[in-house]
Structure 1
């Protein structure tokens, strides 16, 4: 871009900013609560602008037999770099959220089905509280799947999510969601979530190749709400003064799915186009918090009608659905000085006859320092991964998270 174009762009940007500042109310915020809050002078709209980065260092060793742990690999990377916008439009009952990913890990996965373009958009969704406790969502966002996935990557207890999430999560998709909640007595809260989506994952631009995806989730909170939505944040930073518990179950059906992990994984391509099969996933999870102690548990199970992809003549293509199950247990204790120790156990058992994958067990110990809650923190963890047939891996990670 030459200097004339740059100067012209700066001039127009300055005019926009001058007009913007006169027609809206702009307020500064505390650290971690957005870069700025903007409210229209007539109070018919609002926008909070935020940004965050995660900087990660990773060191691992793996091998078998005498060569175990003899091949170290190390990398530094910008794990996540994101911009977030949220607020309301016209009425506080009509909310919206936009989240853009800028790091290589955020925008990877381009294909002919996403027009071979980087996948910048993570969330683009509107949420309409149209009647009492009913809320209708439309757009691209996370499906109501396992709790670990729906927890923001900026609110995690350890450096990153578990192997269970990597293998089984149903991630984001484009479609509708209907959410509702009601109470029994003074405290017992019930939340229902239903989703009807395209079933292809995020940022697909080439249409619907298979059927559709149907997701339903039921959440039970017998002791009432967590402080500051702590049921969807890892670690008990609010130090719940009474026990809080959420028990939940999700059932997801992706009819005529075309990917190896429901709406994730690789496309199953055969000699006549795309191979399709019904894929179902079940999640059962819990979150418990009390006085700095937290416990999260998850079980996942995936099945498919015909998990081995075939050509029109019945010969296998080499693609298979990642069917099997997984268990993840994670716990931590937050000290009064905001240091936290945590531990995680994850077991993955895919169907070896179909996938060729051996069972996996991973043990992780974590240490976190919350400087300004989840908005500014330093985390490190150490993991040991064991697979059958003697394949082991040791991994050490260090991460800094800054969230404006």
Structure 2
């Protein structure tokens, strides 16, 4: 209960402070309210959202497991400071799942901060980001959990995503023609994930991403939202690729997973991750495809005498295909196919394939929706799984 007090106090402080400013209440789903400084030198939009989830799982040969929880609960602030060319975003986690992962590397403190980043449009179409935020990895991870087409992300994301980190990003875009848009992102990060307080234990993480829009930009950034809620009247396509190099990485999944500890400290190895993805939308139809491949210079962690520690880099590949049909009444039927093949000789894990069928009702877009899905997980070594989920999202 005590962990929630700072957030309640922070929200009350914002509301109290804003009494001396110009406040504009927003349409539902567009933030709780906007604050504008009297001299218009700064703005702040305050948002709040929650996901309420029920899950039931049947594992082959095991008893049924059921759980109910607040899957996500977030408090968000964004706007500009001093100039519209200097924007910021702060997102804080409130639920247990949001703040989990505390360790000696995070000061043994809950990981409240999800995003804390400033974005400076210093010249033309160039924008420099600095802070903690999502790296430009696979599309599904960069899509906000508030805007997902199904209850949650796929197995490909859980195995290969590079999530959030602290560092710099340089972003740029230009037009090849009246409709053909190209976007580039370069990133330099610490390489160990979010909220690390112990400094850089390994090397640095370098990420590059290229995105192509042959038919122009999607409406309202729809290339990073699930479902075809904007009902594009002309076909829209985004083709993209990211390549990530984590130099002297010390964790089993690049900047994610567990630390690879040895008898003398940390095991370091270079980890490379490739992402190729696409998003297509036309009227009520949407299709997203992703491929990921991860390699490591030396994937097996070893002690000083050469004996394995039991930790290994999760090397392998995966593919995820997802599509949906949005009906005129804003009900959507979606399907997903995911296949993961980790290197069995290194990880000891069998290939697995998951099939998911989803049904969503968008009451007010992604801001108020109910989603349900059922998945069958086929593990080649046995112990297959059936999972049913029901989730409600509310987003102010």
Is TM more than 0.5 here? Answer: yes
Q: 2:225 aligns with which of 233, 239, 261?
A: 233
Distance 1:176 1:315 in 2: 37
Deviations 1:40-59 (A, max 9, x none): 01000000000000000000
Match of 1:356 in 2: 348
Match of 1:270 in 2: 262
For residue 148 of structure 1, give the secondary structure of its aligned residue in structure 2.
Answer: helix
- Provide closer, same or farther for how the CA distance between residues 237 and 317 of structure 1 changes in structure 2, counting only shifts above 3 A: same
Residue 316, structure 1, aligned to residue 308, structure 2:
yes
Contact 2:85 2:122 in 1 (8 A): yes
- 1:174-193 to 2 correspondences below 5 Å: 174-193=166-185
Aligned residues: 390
- 1:218-229 to 2 correspondences below 5 Å: 218-229=210-221
Distance 1:297 1:333 in 2: 15
Distance 1:112 1:174 in 2: 18
Match of 1:211 in 2: 203
Match of 1:347 in 2: 339
Match of 2:383 in 1: 391
Match of 1:33 in 2: 30
Structure 1 residue 17: Cα displacement: 5.7
Q: 1:61 aligns with which of 40, 46, 58?
A: 58
- Provide closer, same or farther for how the CA distance between residues 26 and 197 of structure 1 changes in structure 2, counting only shifts above 3 A: same
Structure 1 residue 233: Cα displacement: 0.3
Distance 1:14 1:329 in 2: 44
Distance 2:17 2:52 in 1: 36
- Provide closer, same or farther for how the CA distance between residues 312 and 15 of structure 1 changes in structure 2, counting only shifts above 3 A: closer
For residue 167 of structure 1, give the secondary structure of its aligned residue in structure 2.
Answer: helix
Match of 1:401 in 2: 393
Distance 2:381 2:176 in 1: 51
Over the residues paired in the alignment, what is the CA RMSD in angstroms?
1.7
Distance 1:152 1:144 in 2: 13
TM value normalised by structure 2: 0.96
Structure 1 residue 389: Cα displacement: 2.3
Distance 2:368 2:182 in 1: 32
Structure 1 residue 391: Cα displacement: 1.9
- 1:120-199 to 2 correspondences below 5 Å: 120-199=112-191
Distance 1:15 1:286 in 2: 42
- 1:65-84 to 2 correspondences below 5 Å: 67=61, 71-84=63-76
Distance 1:16 1:152 in 2: 24
Match of 1:48 in 2: 45
- Provide closer, same or farther for how the CA distance between residues 207 and 393 of structure 1 changes in structure 2, counting only shifts above 3 A: same
Residue 86, structure 1, aligned to residue 78, structure 2:
yes
Structure with the greater alpha carbon radius of gyration: 1
Distance 2:99 2:335 in 1: 30
For residue 223 of structure 1, give the secondary structure of its aligned residue in structure 2.
Answer: coil
Residue 301, structure 1, aligned to residue 293, structure 2:
yes
Deviations 1:350-386 (A, max 9, x none): 0000000000000000000000000000000000001
Structure 1 residue 20: Cα displacement: 3.6
For residue 389 of structure 1, give the secondary structure of its aligned residue in structure 2.
Answer: coil
Structure 1 residue 166: Cα displacement: 0.1
Structure 1 residue 184: Cα displacement: 1.1
Distance 1:306 1:17 in 2: 52
For residue 19 of structure 2, give the secondary structure of its aligned residue in structure 1.
Answer: helix
Structure 1 residue 18: Cα displacement: 6.0
For residue 246 of structure 1, give the secondary structure of its aligned residue in structure 2.
Answer: strand
Distance 2:216 2:190 in 1: 34
Distance 2:14 2:176 in 1: 51
Match of 1:102 in 2: 94
Match of 2:362 in 1: 370
Structure 1 residue 14: Cα displacement: 8.9
Structure 1 residue 278: Cα displacement: 0.2
Distance 2:222 2:191 in 1: 29
Structure 1 residue 16: Cα displacement: 8.4
- Provide closer, same or farther for how the CA distance between residues 134 and 391 of structure 1 changes in structure 2, counting only shifts above 3 A: same
- Provide closer, same or farther for how the CA distance between residues 403 and 14 of structure 1 changes in structure 2, counting only shifts above 3 A: closer
Distance 2:77 2:104 in 1: 29
Structure 1 residue 390: Cα displacement: 2.3
Match of 1:21 in 2: 19
Match of 1:259 in 2: 251
Distance 2:268 2:147 in 1: 36
Distance 1:373 1:120 in 2: 27
In structure 1, the gaps of 5 or more residues are none
Distance 1:96 1:336 in 2: 36
